Structure 1
Amino acid sequence: MSTPFEIESFDEYLNTIHKELRANGENKRRLYFRGQSKRATEGYPLTPSIARYKHLARLSLADLEQQECEVLETFSNHLLTYVQHRPQTAWEELAIAQHHGLPTRFMDWTTNPLVALYFAVRNTGGRTNDSAVYVLISNPKRYADLKRGQAPLVKPVGDGVTEPANAHDDDAYGEFGIEEGYSSTVSALDATSATGAAEISADIGPLELPTPFKITEDIIYDPPHVSPRIRAQDGVLLACWQPVRPLDENDYLEIVIKLSAHEDIRRRLDQYGVFDKQLFPDLDGIAKWLKYRAFEINGAI
């Protein structure tokens, strides 16, 4: 993949975001960013966490869907013991599972380019590699717009039990720490069984959205009622319809953050308030911030 941007300073990064990207018309739609301490070309492809388990790539779409549904069903059976908010859809259930570390087909992104930059440079001390911020340029549909009927409808997959794993390879894609039928918490928005045995009608309306396991394109999901961290990080989730495959290179733009710039960028982000105690509004965030200020840079507290 060609790399149009290589960043060597904090100001250069800001200029890239505000001038280069905006000048090319990206301001006409929402932008989503993902910061990674390793580049996609260096063994860290843009995939959801479930893709890290290589044996899953050998499963058909139907078998993978069934396994994901069974895992989520077990998780959901325990969910109401620990949360105050009752999930209304399987999308919410899966977002909560993602937040608590369960591998899912959701991938974390943010609408804040400084948050993405933070994740790209925060934990790179002692490393010898550049990091990167990725910009999603494929303009996926938003779950909220679909629900309100303000976006073209998503055609759901058919019978997941009989569908071959490569059924959609021809049109897999055109282009950056959160369903149906699993548990009693699944709402009327879900339209199929956990095994996918029931085929969904092609005429899906704004209140009858496919579950995350029945979509045929990537969808941006803004998870409600999940975590203060997600709100602090302006986080969104990308639901990947082919979760064991990396995003196509045409889906994103790579902004390489040179290793030589990391330390200065970390200091500048701290000055701008984009650091641990702001992005992790809990004791973990306070501890990380104190670790950085007192021990890593011997700064003022």
Structure 2
Amino acid sequence: MDSELPIFLSVQEHRVNSWGELQEELFTGSWNESLRRFRPTLAFRGMPDSHHDLATSLNRRGGNYSRQEHVMLRAFRKYARGTTNPCESLWDWLSLAQHHGLPTRLLDWTFSPYVALHFLTEDPSLYDVDGVVWCVDYRETNRLLPRPLKAQLREEGADVFSAEMLATVARDLSSFDKLARHPFVLFFEPPSLDERIVNQFALFSVMNDASARLDAFLEKQKRGVRRLIVPARLKQEVRDKLDQANITERVLFPGLDGLTRWLRRYYNPRPPGAPSGQ
């Protein structure tokens, strides 16, 4: 990770001042005129510190670590076979590897703005710093997709990919990377490997270069990209209202581990001098 804090100069940024304003901003642009429904085409990513970048777990390893991507994935596929998670394509395997912590070129996003807010507020030790929600309109990023991928979306009548759709166009990462010389990003829904992925309304972003940085790409993407800054003083209020709405670790991480994570945070004493939303 870079030692200097990133500065997002050309990305549209808005600092909210209240819970009500946050709701307005999160759902801005959700009206779909062609469907006559509130159906946004946005991917959300919540982060507890507004200075955090969009480096992938592979980016964060530094150096030439991205060159080891295929080696790690090959080893993962070899040793993970026989587990309870059936994988039919490379994209299934890549999703499974990301899900279990292997460094990959994937980055976690969600269709749910409230799930994004959960990850922005899940760590009480960071309530003294501003958080951020990235909002990316994947219809806009799709404009830069190479022709075969655009054709696949049209054929399926979709705006995001499934692992199965991706496998139709690119069976491996090498062929995926060669689809275009220019950088592009696409969003795809991972297979429903477990309840965690389903409950988090998850999707992944992937670029056609293991060493590429999504934040650098989005800096040049003038349309459809926003950063909502949630000030530190609002974090506790946001967290309490998410708890009331049942957006908690107990739901997003089903099982005993999620239950204990929720209880540990929920009963965490409020530190003296913590910022207040009132």
TM-score of the two chains, using structure 1 as the length reference: 0.68
The whole-number CA distance in structure 2 between the counterparts of 1:21 and 1:8 is: 19
Native 8 Å contact 1:144 1:222 kept in 2: no
Pairing 1:49–2:60 present: no
The corresponding residue for 1:222 is 189
Q: 1:233 aligns with which of 180, 186, 200?
A: 200
Pairing 1:211–2:172 present: yes
Native 8 Å contact 2:32 2:40 kept in 1: no
The whole-number CA distance in structure 1 between the counterparts of 2:157 and 2:56 is: 24
The corresponding residue for 2:24 is 15
Percent same amino acid among aligned pairs?
24
Matches within 5 A, 1:183-194: none
1:44-72 C-alpha deviation (Å, 9 max, x unpaired): 21122100022027x7xxxx2xx211211
Cα displacement (A) at 1:89: 0.4
Structure 1 87/254 Cα, relative in aligned 2: closer, same or farther at 3 Å?
A: same
The corresponding residue for 1:198 is none
The whole-number CA distance in structure 1 between the counterparts of 2:249 and 2:150 is: 29
Q: 1:288 aligns with which of 261, 264, 277?
A: 261
The whole-number CA distance in structure 2 between the counterparts of 1:145 and 1:279 is: 34
Native 8 Å contact 2:59 2:211 kept in 1: yes
The corresponding residue for 1:88 is 88
The corresponding residue for 1:146 is 152
The corresponding residue for 2:137 is 137
SS at match of 1:146: helix
The corresponding residue for 1:112 is 112
SS at match of 2:267: helix
Cα displacement (A) at 1:209: 2.9
Structure 1 69/150 Cα, relative in aligned 2: closer, same or farther at 3 Å?
A: same
Structure 1 102/134 Cα, relative in aligned 2: closer, same or farther at 3 Å?
A: same
The corresponding residue for 1:202 is none
Structure 1 294/84 Cα, relative in aligned 2: closer, same or farther at 3 Å?
A: same
The corresponding residue for 1:101 is 101
Provide the aligned length of Structure 1 versus Structure 2: 236
The corresponding residue for 1:275 is 248
Pairing 1:5–2:5 present: no
Which segments of 5 or more consecutive residues in structure 1 lack a partner in the other structure?
153-178, 180-186, 191-206
The whole-number CA distance in structure 2 between the counterparts of 1:287 and 1:144 is: 44
Structure 1 3/218 Cα, relative in aligned 2: closer, same or farther at 3 Å?
A: closer
SS at match of 2:22: helix
SS at match of 2:55: coil
SS at match of 1:73: helix
* Structure with larger Rg: 1
The corresponding residue for 1:172 is none
Pairing 1:249–2:219 present: yes
Native 8 Å contact 1:144 1:221 kept in 2: no
The corresponding residue for 1:266 is 239
Cα displacement (A) at 1:78: 1.0
| Structure number having the greater helix percentage | 2
Structure 1 262/236 Cα, relative in aligned 2: closer, same or farther at 3 Å?
A: same
Which segments of 5 or more consecutive residues in structure 2 lack a partner in the other structure?
1-8, 271-278
Cα displacement (A) at 1:288: 1.4
TM-score of the two chains, using structure 2 as the length reference: 0.74
SS at match of 2:259: helix
Cα displacement (A) at 1:103: 0.5
RMSD: 3.3
Native 8 Å contact 2:124 2:265 kept in 1: no
SS at match of 1:295: coil
Structure 1 101/144 Cα, relative in aligned 2: closer, same or farther at 3 Å?
A: farther
The whole-number CA distance in structure 2 between the counterparts of 1:23 and 1:256 is: 23
